Chains A and B, each alone.
Chain A
Amino acid sequence: GESVGLHLPTLSVQEGDNSIINCAYSNSASDYFIWYKQESGKGPQFIIDIRSNMDKRQGQRVTVLLNKTVKHLSLQIAATQPGDSAVYFCAENWGSGYSTLTFGKGTMLLVSP
């Protein structure tokens, strides 16, 4: 069967709270970043992205912040709902050509009613 996986960092919040999920990326040359949401048994779902020429981007209830100085990315979810419970992955891409996405380890978000 499958090998035993690592325990994911977990963030537990109450419904209605704001959630902040953090990600440290690895390559200072990365110029494109994506947050994905993955519910149990499903494929990753695109949430929001940001290019390196920006430090903030907002979507519906979600905001991504990019701090290139410390290679840090965060995802803020406003008014968190039980349906937001999932594993969240950040991914980075550096440059064009043959480079592809590199995924971070993931954070599990648990939202209690």
Chain B
Amino acid sequence: DAMVIQNPRYQVTQFGKPVTLSCSQTLNHNVMYWYQQKSSQAPKLLFHYYDKDFNNEADTPDNFQSRRPNTSFCFLDIRSPGLGDAAMYLCATSREREDTQYFGPGTRLTVL
């Protein structure tokens, strides 16, 4: 049974055209995370929500925003995608911050 679901799995957008990626979870976990992963690199944390409390990483560009309307859903908004934003975007959840994170399958973003 899928526990962390990401849609779409593949997203193509144009340079500068806003795009939204979505994540949902059936685990009822408190924490939801968004990571960016580029080829042959480790996932890089962009931000996370603890419940409704948003926590941004210091080096996350302003171009990246997030929303968490309820426990189950979290969205990643890229306001003006650049070519350098092409990557795999991973959503993860954990019960508490110090607990195991469970990842979704990712969304592969292509910027044309």
Where the two chains meet, the residues of A that have a C-beta atom closer than 8 Å to any C-beta of B are: 1-8, 32, 34, 36, 41-46, 49, 89, 91, 93, 95-101, 103-106
Complex interface: chain B residues within 8 A of A36 (CB): 103
**Which residue of the partner chain, among A5, A42, A106, contacts B106 with CB atoms under 8 Å?**
A42
| Residue of A whose beta carbon sits closest to that of B44 | A103
CB of B68 within 8 Å of the partner chain: no
Distance to closest chain B CB from A30 (angstroms): 11
What is the CA–CA distance of A95 and B48 in the complex, to the nearest angstrom? 17
Verify B83–A1 contact, CB threshold 8 A: yes
Complex interface: chain A residues within 8 A of B6 (CB): 43
Distance to closest chain A CB from B99 (angstroms): 8
Complex interface: chain A residues within 8 A of B83 (CB): 1
Most chain B CB within a 10 A radius of its CB, from A1, A43, A103: A43
What is the CA–CA distance of A80 and B103 in the complex, to the nearest angstrom? 24
Verify B43–A44 contact, CB threshold 8 A: yes
Complex interface: chain B residues within 8 A of A41 (CB): 106, 108
The 9 closest A-B pairs by CB, nearest first: A5-B40, A43-B103, A5-B39, A103-B42, A43-B106, A96-B98, A44-B103, A43-B105, A2-B86
Complex interface: chain B residues within 8 A of A100 (CB): 33, 45, 48, 97
CB of B102 within 8 Å of the partner chain: yes
| Residue of B whose beta carbon sits closest to that of A7 | B40
B71-112 CB contact bits vs A (8 Å, 1 = yes)? 000000000000110110010100011101111111010110
Verify A32–B42 contact, CB threshold 8 A: no
**Which residue of the partner chain, among A3, A46, A103, A105, contacts B102 with CB atoms under 8 Å?**
A46
**Which residue of the partner chain, among B42, B92, B102, contacts A89 with CB atoms under 8 Å?**
B42
